[in-house]
Structure 1
Amino acid sequence: MAKTRSTGLLPVLVIGVVVILFGPTLLDDVRDAVSDLGGSTEPGYVVAPAVRPRTDRCTADQLLGDRSCDGLKIVLFSAEKMPYIARNIQLAWSEGKPAILHKDAPGTDQTKRNTVCGPGVFTKTFSDGSCDEYAFASSVEGGQWATVRTEEVPLREQNCQGGTLRQEYRRADIAQGDAFIVVITDSEKIATGAYAGNDTAEDRSCTS
């Protein structure tokens, strides 16, 4: 008798049985075991709700690997390395700040940053804190109160963000005028509260 190949259905059945018999609270406890059986779980990333209809048309590989989806270029931000910046981005989305950004001309970002984060405009609470803004100052949408949300984050994260954006623009081939969106990876690491003076990032290397 010929052997049949696994269809990958077993991991799904395992999850279903656990939820039915023991309740959803135990679901997280079996995720690792499921992956050992050859299954997979939803990748840990989030996008702005406003662009979900477009990103749902793409695979995780397209979003995270190709840096492109449905005509939009992708910038990745790791919540493991920048949990408070990721929090500010996610809150900005929830407040209706633009989900789709456009790369602005080089040299315009400092003026726009001063508009929303400059002296007399933003007052930080902690000595190692810094003003973070979304939409980014390097985007056309940056520097305008109607499209920007600010929040204090660790200075280390702010420095990390600058290098990350330059690197991501290069990787996704984002040029002046190009439309792009942000995808937050390691989304389970997004800070759940405002910065309180303690850098809680699990990975502070700021390299990828």
Structure 2
Amino acid sequence: MSQLFNVLALLLVASFFLVERSSASPSSRDNDEFDVKESIEIIINHPLNKERPASYLLGPPLTEEEIVLTLKPVLETRDVSHFDGLIQLYKVTNGLKTLEAEADGHPLKDIWLIPGYYLLSVHEVVETLSIMMRTSGVWIPSWLPLFASRTGDFVVFDTENGHIHEILTKESLRWEVAPNLQAFIHGIAKQLRDGRILLNENGLYDVIITDSQKHEIYEDSILDAPFVSPNARNTFNIEIVVHEENVGVPNLDFNCTNMPRVCQNIRNAIASGKTRSLQRITDKNQIKKNRQAACGKVTCTAPNNSCDEYPFASTSQGGAGATTMCVPLSENNSQGGQLAGFYRKNNVKDKDWFNMRSP
């Protein structure tokens, strides 16, 4: 009888462990339980990324103590429970080795680890946050920049609630792309694994979207695709029309005091034949596509520099062929604030025309 009891007890213990293991399996986990370490390693080691500088220019992992110490000014006033995914991320890699990337002269498209963005190091996170708080009129103190495009766009971690937002500072646009960092990283890893992220002939990221995949890409896979494949049915297209200066439309005049290099880039562009007559667009994917087409092959070597383009990415004249210049991030922020203010003040909406009158 005692032997039977022992056998039953062993079976009970074994069944308990089987239930525990099955409940923790990846197929049954909620989005907020996805392992960041596992997902970021998929991204780094995926064949699409493996031979790209974005992978081999990643810095070594940090210890939890190093991460917490560097982020201490942020962590001190926030709910630490939101930061688990963030700590997991930097325990895999401390982001792009920026100085090495700059010394080697890599264009932006080569350092982007995920579509359109590279991973900031922990020190760059703190430094960039400080710059954005000083110079951007749209930045919220709880936004911690994790991924940057070097064109003025960011993927940020909201320290108030752990949500992930994409920010287009020059257009004052933002939207939530994931409920937490774990889900965001997992979504990108899943798209890579499923073959939905690829490189086009220019070495820039495309994301394949079809009607049957749209739900999964935008809701399950989290990432709101910066690029749409030319073969996709729902590609956003704009007929580009070049006009002489329009009469009876608003005129944009920039104050160049805080952005001399931005203004110089506009002067260079207009002197080379770029139009002053511009048509605004508000589709976020097309804006990102324009910006990345204009800046993807640009190399910005100075610290805290970003790529500026004219015609603007938020116009139908923007994109490939735009005149570019590397300018301080603070100047891009100043331009973004003035441009957003101009759009609001003059009620310039999607497909409305305006003139770039000065500089």
What SS does structure 1 have at the residue aligned with 2:283? Answer: coil
1:149 and 2:323 correspond: yes
Aligned partners of 1:90, 1:84: CA distance in 2, in Å? 10
Shift of 1:76: 2.4
Secondary structure, in 3 states, of the residue corresponding to 2:268? helix
1:135 aligned residue: 311
CA RMSD of superposed structures (Å)? 1.7
Contact 1:75 1:172 in 2 (8 A): no
Aligned residues of 2:252 and 2:356 also touching (Cα < 8 A): yes
Q: After the TM superposition, which residues 156-195 of structure 1 pair with which residues of structure 2 at under 5 Å, given as runs? A: 156-184=330-358
Could you say what secondary structure the match of 1:78 adopts?
Answer: coil
SS in 1 for 2:349: coil
Paired residue secondary structure (1:139): coil
Alignment partner, residue 103 of structure 1? 280
- The offset of 1:71, in angstroms, is 1.2
- 1:82 alignment counterpart: 259
Deviation of the 1:106 alpha carbon: 3.0
Question: C-alpha distance in 1, partners of 2:283/2:337?
Answer: 15
Give the residue type in structure 2 aligned to 1:134. Y
Separation of aligned partners in 2, 1:176 and 1:73: 14
Provide TM-score, normalisation by structure 2.
0.31
TM superposition shift of 1:81: 1.9
Within 5 Å, which residues of 2 pair with 1:48-63? 51=245
Q: What is the distance in 2 between the residues matched to 1:113 and 1:72?
A: 25
SS of the aligned residue for 1:169 comes to helix
Out of 89, 93, 110, the position equivalent to 2:270 is 93
Q: Displacement, 1:183?
A: 2.9
Distance 1:77 1:101, change over 3 A: same
| Superposition deviation, residue 144 in structure 1 | 2.4
Deviations 1:37-90 (A, max 9, x none): xxxxxxxxxxxxx64xx7xxxxxxxxxxxxxxx312122211112111111101
Report the residue type matching 1:73 in the other structure: P
Contact kept in structure 2, 1:117 and 1:131, CA below 8 Å: yes
Q: How many equivalent residue pairs?
A: 115
Gaps of 5+ in 1: 1-49, 55-69, 188-208
Contact 1:115 1:144 (8 Å CA) reproduced: yes
Q: Which amino acid aligns with 1:116?
A: A
> 1:105, CA displacement in angstroms?
2.8
Write the letter of the residue equivalent to 1:136. F
1:124 Cα offset (Å): 0.5
In structure 2, runs of 5+ residues without a counterpart are 1-243
Q: Distance in 2 between matches of 1:87 and 1:137?
A: 17
Which of 271, 294, 299 matches 1:116? 294
SS in structure 2 of the partner of residue 160 of structure 1: helix
Higher radius of gyration, 1 or 2: 2
Checking the alignment, whether the CA contact within 8 Å between 2:276 and 2:357 is kept in structure 1 is no
Structure 1 residue identity aligned to 2:330: R
Q: Distance in 1 between matches of 2:349 and 2:336?
A: 16
Aligned residues of 2:251 and 2:356 also touching (Cα < 8 A): yes
Structure with higher RCO (Cα < 8 A, 6+ apart): 1
Per-residue CA distance 1:84-108 (angstroms, 9 max, x = gap): 1111101100000111000113312
Percent of residue pairs bearing the same amino acid type: 34
Residue type matched to 1:137 in 2?
Answer: A
Give, in angstroms, the shift of residue 179 of structure 1: 1.1
Secondary structure of the 2:250 match is strand
